């Protein structure tokens, strides 16, 4: 699945930065520099169909960053009353307040690791639904992603 | 801010097992799991030529002497009901979003690739670590998404803890936050008890692939010794 969402202003910012860099001969904003604007894309988002209809759900996705460092600070959805960020550990899981999106790197939310926990659905999700997740980044701002509901055991590429 | 880019302990554990190192599982738990060591869960990959891809246990735990309610609300004596069967045992809870449905779902997919006759030889048993919310009916609905013939057990949490501890599986009281989200700390490994002696011989860490489960469940169903 290809990238689904761009932060337009982030791209504009990067373009502007590139233009400035060319104009001024500056090198401070070269790719991957932590001081540069983040350039984020979201790949392979999915929500496995909850095992209990309308029950506790998870969300997975990959944030790719071709620019400077950013941070995912919150996630919300018109489809659910609560979306929180968690990380599974060997015997439990812990809520995290923010997740790093490193410069030139990725933030990977995948099974058994970092994930979104989705509760209090406004409507019971069904296979084939596309639900909106609103990702709020510290620098890039809000990124809206359309996320398909997949079978319980789905994995990207399968 | 939590960094999510450090290597996960689970991966290190898997690597260590492959290398044949012996380690205590409880040493790998974090997030509150470290304090209450249940110890003793020494595992090692034998240099033997076992056909199984799961981790061969060097210490073969007894099947727990556990009587809880099944998903019809009737008492279920684990030892009596599953004597002579291969049993895959997992402790978890239904409001767990990530590891529990992933593990049970993957086992379900692997089971679906076996014949009905092969499936008959296996009992997949899920024991709730959150019995207050996991009523028999809640458990049944949740398990049906993964395997209609999966066995769900729920009841007295102290019994569950007592059963899990000698297996090296940590189970703590569930914690409910202000939003009503439940977090239960529980060891996420799956143990396989073999029919010959009703003892645990194989272990599968969280993250074990469907292919590995399918490979090993087929051997178990065909009566291949570890």
Each residue of B171-194: pLDDT tens digit? 999 999 988 889 999 999 999 999
Residues of B in contact with A74 (CB under 8 A): none
Rounded-to-integer distance, Cα A101 and Cα A71, Å = 5
pLDDT for residue B91 is more than 70: yes
With an 8 Å Cβ cutoff, is A113 touching chain B?
A: yes
**Is A97–B145 a contact, with Cβ atoms under 8 angstroms apart?**
no
User: Across the A/B interface, how many CB contacts are shorter than 8 Å?
Assistant: 132
Set of chain A residues whose Cβ sits within 8 Å of the Cβ of B108: 153
Scan residues 121-150 of A and list those with Cβ closer than 8 Å to B.
Answer: none
- Please give, one letter per residue, the 3-state secondary structure of chain B: CECCCCCCHHHHHHHHHHCCCCEEHHHHCCCCCCCCCCCCCEECCCCCCCCCCCEECCCCCECCCCEEECCCCCEEEHHHHHCCCEEEEEEECCCCCCHHHHHHHHHHHHHHCCCHHHHHCEEEEEEECCCCCCCHHHHHHHHHCCCCCCEEEECCHHHHHHHHHHHCCCECCCEECCCCCEECCECCCEEEECCCCCEEEEEECCCCCHHHHHHHHHHHHCCCCC
Say whether residue A112 is in contact with chain B using an 8 A CB cutoff: yes
| Residue A4 pLDDT > 60 | no
ipTM of the shown complex? 0.78
Evaluate the CA torsion angle B120, B125, B126, B128 in order and state its sign.
positive
At A90 the pLDDT is: 79
Contact A90 B180 (CB under 8 A): no
**A25 to chain B nearest CA, in Å?**
34
CB spacing of A119 vs B105 below 8 angstroms: no
| CA–CA min distance A153, chain B (Å) | 6
Q: Given this model, what pLDDT does residue B190 score? A: 97
pLDDT digits (tens, 9 = 90+) for B9-51: 443 344 334 333 333 333 333 333 333 334 444 455 545 689 9
Query: Which of A89, A94, A103 is the mutation pick for testing B, counting most B CBs within 10 A?
Result: A89
| Residues A96, B97: C-beta atoms closer than 8 Å | no
Q: Are B95 and A55 inside 8 Å of each other by CB?
A: yes
Nearest residue in A to B179, CA atom = A82
Structure confidence by residue, pLDDT tens digits, A39-72: 999 999 999 999 999 999 999 999 999 999 999 9
CA distance B105 to chain A (A): 6
Section B190-205 average pLDDT: 96
To the nearest whole number, what is the mean pLDDT of chain B?
A: 84
- The answer to whether residue A87 neighbours chain B at the CB level (below 8 Å) is yes
What mean pLDDT value characterizes chain A? 84
Determine whether the interchain pair A108/B4 forms a contact, defined as Cβ–Cβ distance below 8 Å.
yes
CB contact under 8 A, B185 and A91: yes
A119 → chain B, closest CA residue:
B181
Residue B94: the pLDDT is 97
Nearest-CA distance from A140 to chain B in Å? 17
Please, which pLDDT band fits residue A34 given cuts at 50, 70 and 90? Answer: low
By CA distance, what is A111's nearest residue in B?
B98
């Amino acid at each position: 699945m290809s990238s689904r969402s761009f932060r337009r202003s982030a791209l504009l910012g990067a373009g502007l930065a590139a233009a400035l860099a060319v104009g001024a001969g500056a090198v401070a904003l070269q790719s991957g520099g932590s001081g540069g604007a983040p350039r984020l894309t979201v790949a392979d988002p999915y929500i496995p169909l909850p095992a209990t209809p309308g029950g506790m759900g998870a969300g997975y996705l990959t944030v790719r960053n071709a620019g400077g460092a950013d941070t995912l600070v919150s996630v919300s959805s018109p489809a659910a009353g609560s979306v929180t960020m968690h990380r599974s550990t060997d015997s439990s899981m812990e809520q995290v307040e923010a997740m790093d999106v490193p410069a030139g790197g990725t933030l990977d939310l995948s099974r058994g690791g970092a994930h979104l926990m989705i509760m209090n659905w406004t409507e019971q999700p069904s296979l084939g639904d596309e639900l909106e997740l609103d990702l709020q980044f510290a620098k890039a701002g809000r990124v809206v992603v359309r996320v398909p509901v997949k079978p319980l055991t789905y994995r990207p590429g399968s | 801010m939590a960094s999510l880019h450090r290597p996960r302990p689970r991966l290190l554990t898997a690597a260590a097992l492959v290398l044949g190192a012996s380690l205590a599982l409880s040493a790998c738990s974090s997030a509150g799991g470290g304090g209450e060591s249940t110890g003793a869960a020494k595992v090692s990959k034998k240099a033997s030529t076992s056909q199984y891809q799961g981790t061969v246990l060097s210490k073969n735990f007894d099947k727990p002497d556990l009587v809880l309610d099944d998903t019809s609300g009737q008492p279920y004596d684990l030892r009596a009901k599953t004597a002579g069967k291969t049993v895959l045992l997992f402790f978890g809870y239904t409001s767990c979003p990530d590891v529990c449905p992933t593990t049970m779902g993957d086992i379900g997919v692997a089971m679906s690739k076996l014949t009905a006759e092969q499936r008959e030889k296996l009992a997949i048993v899920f024991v709730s670590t959150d019995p207050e919310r996991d009523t028999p009916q809640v458990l049944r609905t949740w398990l049906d998404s993964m395997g209609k013939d999966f066995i769900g057990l729920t009841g007295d949490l102290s019994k569950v803890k007592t059963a899990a501890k000698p297996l090296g599986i940590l189970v703590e009281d569930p914690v409910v936050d202000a939003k009503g989200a439940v977090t239960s700390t529980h060891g996420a490994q799956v143990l396989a008890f073999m029919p010959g002696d009703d003892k645990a011989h194989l272990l599968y860490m969280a993250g074990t692939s469907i292919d590995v489960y399918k490979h090993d469940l087929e051997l178990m169903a065909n009566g291949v010794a570890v």
